[in-house]
Homo-oligomer: A and B are copies of this chain.
Amino acid sequence: MLSDFYQPPHRILLGPGPSMVDPRVYQAMASPLIGHTDPQFFGVLQDTADLLRYVFGTNNEFTIAVPGTGSAGMEASVVNFVEDGTKVAVFANGFFPDRFTEMRRRQRANVVRFEKPWGEVFGDDEAAEFVGRERPGVVMFVHAETSTGALQPAAAICEAAHRCGALVIGDCVTSLGGMPVDVDANGIDIAYSGTQKCLGAPPGLAPITLSAKALEVMRARRSSCVSWYLDLKLIDEYWGESHRYHHTTPITMFYALREALRLCLQESLEARFARHQLNHRAFVSGIEALGLRMHVREGSRLWTLNTPRLPEGCDDGALRTRLLEEFGIEVLGGFGPLAGKILRVGLMGASSQRQYVLLLLSALETCLGAGGAVQAAESVYSQ
């Protein structure tokens, strides 16, 4: 009702994002605004850039967050690194390469795709062979695919791309802050992410980092980027020393992101990755105890976004409604070729906690009329 202050229901957010947010991040958002041209605010941007370099695993000078959600990061990577006729090679094994392809289509790019069923990943040799054969200007892959739960190793793709002088765009929306991304070690030229998954801030910003080579290509480009709002050259001038006005920065979201990144630093990435891996392992163990199996084969699974296959005949929607209404737990289902076949369970950032794993498994035991899941998970924790 419009007469009421909005009181959200209490939710345990275990879907593909947004994830839970630490109270310290909420506290940061309640800090009073200052202006986007205030010298003090430039310090907030600087801190954010330094902390983003840490989680991205990069020394890239150009490391910022663009003023939109994760998809704005994807669009920024598209519009700034493609001109009419640029040949783009896409590794297509889920929903987000398709979205990327659609963005590219709107930019009149020439797209070639290497397709695999949703949930599979590309081997080093076949990936290198594809890139070597196509000799594109830009290669795109999804490091952590939110629609399937699969992890795509980056190194072989980047090596092959660099051998033919191509730039590599890596979608790290569901890995950054939860699993190693290692931008510099892998050689990803353009990596972007969102704030609302493993970083533990609300949605609203898209971190992005560019290698020296990507920066050089961007600065040398002749035609204007079709987007003014996501033109990284202009945004760079605002973040840089001239602080030239571009847009009114979402101040509050930067307060939130800075604090969420500080939590990453304080926990240390090493401990954070270990936490995500442990909770993933415990969850998988519980799922298997229920007689279910994971959609993605072992070794290619994300720790962050887990995709158990539903039992035959299980009504996906009814199960999720019951989880939401009786247990206050949000998980999402599959879509596209995986509609009705999987659950998408995010154990990311502040949502990656033993207590939530146990609660969800216990709720699944109740809903599916099975047992043993909690016990199996507990045995992982007690190892």
Contact = CB atoms under 8 A, between A and B. Distances in A.
Interface string A231-261: 0000000000000011111111101101100
A37 interface: yes
Contacts of A194: 248
Interface string A182-205: 000000000000101000001110
Contacts of A50: 2
A11 B28 contact: no
B71 A202 contact: no
A8 B40 contact: yes
Interface residues of A, number: 78
Nearest to A35: B330
B32 A21 contact: yes
Given A71-B247, A332-B37, A106 B226 contact: yes
A107 B252 CA distance: 31
B5 A24 contact: yes
Contact of A5 (B7, B28, B35, B252): B28
Nearest to A250: B204
A69 B256 CA distance: 17
- Identify which of A105, A224, A228, A330 gathers the most chain B CB atoms within 10 Å of its CB: A228
A203 B251 contact: yes
A31 B204 CA distance: 16
A36 B18 contact: yes
A366 interface: no
Q: How many copies does the complex hold?
A: 2
A271 interface: no
B34 A8 contact: yes
A29 B251 CA distance: 13
Given A68-B72, A202-B251, 19 more contacts: A2-B47, A5-B24, A9-B34, A11-B32, A13-B35, A17-B248, A18-B35, A26-B32, A27-B30, A36-B203, A38-B330, A75-B228, A102-B228, A203-B249, A203-B251, A204-B253, A226-B226, A250-B253, A253-B253
Interface of A: 2, 5-11, 13, 15, 17-18, 20-21, 24, 26-38, 40, 44, 47, 50-51, 67-72, 74-75, 99, 102-103, 105-107, 194, 196, 202-204, 224-230, 245-253, 255-256, 258-259, 262, 265, 324, 330, 332, 335
10 contacts: A6-B28, A18-B248, A21-B33, A33-B202, A36-B203, A75-B227, A106-B227, A196-B248, A226-B227, A227-B227
